[in-house]
Amino acid sequence: MSSQFSLLSHALLWLTQPAAPAQCGTSALPPRPHTNPSGNFRMSTPVHLNVRDLMHAHVYTVPPSMPLDELEEEFLAKKVSGFPVVEEGQLVGVVSRSDVVRQLALERSLAELTSDFYWDQAGFHEEPAQSMRQVADRVGQRIEDLRVEDLMSRHLIVALADDSLETAAQKLLEHHIHRMPVVDAGRLVGMISTLDYVRLFSERRVQVSR
């Protein structure tokens, strides 16, 4: 995962770095630096493009009231690792498989703390198998009551539909993320990702300028 992100990050940095003048006998596309110390860049396109022009408008979403078992079914059915959480059209959070894993680990820890451990006269714990069954039962009971809203992240990193592509690219790089929701007046209207920028560059719809 880290190597994949590194490649995509370098592609974005290629987009966002000022072009160096070509030297005699060198490639027309000189190597780009892998760092961006100034944080400043400009991209020029044949026509003005903003986030709305590059984003994917069709986005899978889930409601905050969805139970965890249904969420897992959605992960499998849609073959994705995360969803924007939407209520009445408004983006209220994001949820991922890692959020579910963290919650399961937390529920197991809580179940172990609250399980009854009986001691016999010799001072030994109950049978391990019995203890594990208690923990599993308690985890199951707690999980049944959990909803997406109980584990989703409410800290949102978003792009505005009318943001420039430069602004959105800076956010992706600054937060070291692959994708982010696109909103318009708080309503989810799409998603934009590093792969969208790579596609834009590969199609030569964007040029790097000083």
Query: Which amino acid, residue 180?
Result: M
**Low-confidence winner among 113-117, 143-147, 153-157, 193-197 (lowest mean pLDDT):** 113-117
pLDDT at 52 over 90: yes
Alpha helix (H) ranges present in the chain? 2-16, 51-54, 68-78, 97-114, 128-145, 148-151, 165-175, 194-202
What is the CATH code for 2-98+151-208? 3.10.580.10
CB 31 within 8 A of CB 143: no
Residue 6 has pLDDT above 90, yes or no: no
- Average pLDDT score over residue span 124-144: 56
**Residue 84 and residue 68: Cα distance in Å, rounded?**
15
Q: In the chain, which residues fall in CATH 3.10.580.10? A: 2-98+151-208
- Global pTM reads 0.63
pLDDT above 50: residue 13: yes
Rounded to whole angstroms, how far apart are CA atoms 9 and 191? 18
- In this prediction, residue 49 carries a pLDDT of 85
